[in-house]
Structure 1
Amino acid sequence: MNPNNFLGAEPLIIARLKAVLPDDVHVLSAAELAKIAGEQQPTPAVHVVYDGYRTEDTKVPAVVRVVQSWITVVVARNVADIEQGFHARQAAGPLASQVVEALYRHTLKNDKDEAFGNGPLRLAAAPNPGFDDGHFYLPLAWDCPINFISNAC
């Protein structure tokens, strides 16, 4: 089955995180995040950001396998040790574990219980973390495989 929305994983990832993370964690899309200035960043938070795709050979001419990359960025803030950032990193660690628990090998499904993609999310290599004025940003990357079937062959 071809997905009817190439970026349909985003609302499903957000819904999954909102369903399993504690109520005080802000789960934000890239569009929501764009409206927030750095110093207004709510914490704790998880950002969900699309990061492109790659294709993989399927050995079947009518099938194109696309593996999308989605990044969830865990954000924690603690100014107790603002120069070294130790306390902010320690605050991000448990939330990162909760995000991994929520998404690792999770199959995204819509409200009709139909799977999005062609398999569960897989943990992938992520960009480096960042630290800014007491905020610690810890990216976790996810591969989301999707098969597109062509009728052209």
Structure 2
Amino acid sequence: MDFLELEAPIKARLEAGVGESVKVFTAPDLDGVAAGNRPAPAVDLLYRGYRPKDGNAAGGFAVIEQTWWTVIAVRNRRHVASGNAARAEAGPIAGAVIKSLLGWAPTGAKAMAIAPAPQAGYDAGYFYLPIAWTTQLNVRTDACASS
């Protein structure tokens, strides 16, 4: 089992949903990219952890809820003080992300559900708008505790 196996199908779903003009990146894609040189507009897909939901350790079974963030990144320096231009550019991309993922179930997982996310932010001319998602995986193993 690959614990992060959902990354590839989620990325593919986002790429199809946001169109060719918006790039979709995962953490390895962004490794080494300087803050001021990152491509935009883009959607960053980031694994943000898990929590056990249910299971039976002796039976080799667990339900795990994973959290994924989709962070819309745009660079727009017009109206920097208000951020209006950047928000206007990020809004339709956010809509496409939500339309792509909300209720969609990656193979082997439950439907993606929207979840609480951190605040949007500005940095070095970029506007970042995070949207958080959860999904659940059923994990089974052949290993069972012996009595």
TM-score > 0.5 by shorter chain: yes
Which residue is 1:70 aligned to?
68
Which residue is 1:96 aligned to?
94
- Mapped pair 1:5 → 2:8: no
Which residue is 2:115 aligned to?
124
Segments of 5+ residues of structure 2 without an aligned counterpart are none
Alpha-carbon distance in 1 for matches of 2:23, 2:141:
39
- Mapped pair 1:133 → 2:131: no
Once the two structures are TM-superposed, the CA of residue 86 in structure 1 deviates from its matched residue by 1.6
The answer to whether the 8 A contact 2:35-2:124 is kept is no
Once the two structures are TM-superposed, the CA of residue 135 in structure 1 deviates from its matched residue by 0.9
Alpha-carbon distance in 2 for matches of 1:59, 1:116:
19
Please state whether the residue corresponding to 1:57 is helix, strand or coil: strand
Alpha-carbon distance in 1 for matches of 2:115, 2:81:
30
Segments of 5+ residues of structure 1 without an aligned counterpart are 109-114
Once the two structures are TM-superposed, the CA of residue 45 in structure 1 deviates from its matched residue by 0.3
Counterparts of residues 4-153 of structure 1 (less than 5 Å): 4-57=1-54, 62=59, 63-108=61-106, 115-117=107-109, 119-151=110-142, 152=144
Spell out structure 1 runs of 4+ moving beyond 4 A: 58-61
The answer to whether the 8 A contact 2:74-2:128 is kept is yes
Q: Matched residues, percent identical?
A: 35
One-letter amino acid of the counterpart of residue 116, structure 1: G
Once the two structures are TM-superposed, the CA of residue 150 in structure 1 deviates from its matched residue by 4.1
Alpha-carbon distance in 2 for matches of 1:139, 1:97:
12
Alpha-carbon distance in 1 for matches of 2:19, 2:54:
39
State the TM-score, normalized to the length of structure 1.
0.86
Alpha-carbon distance in 1 for matches of 2:92, 2:43:
12
State the TM-score, normalized to the length of structure 2.
0.89
Alpha-carbon distance in 1 for matches of 2:57, 2:104:
26
Count of residues in Structure 1 that have an aligned counterpart in Structure 2: 143
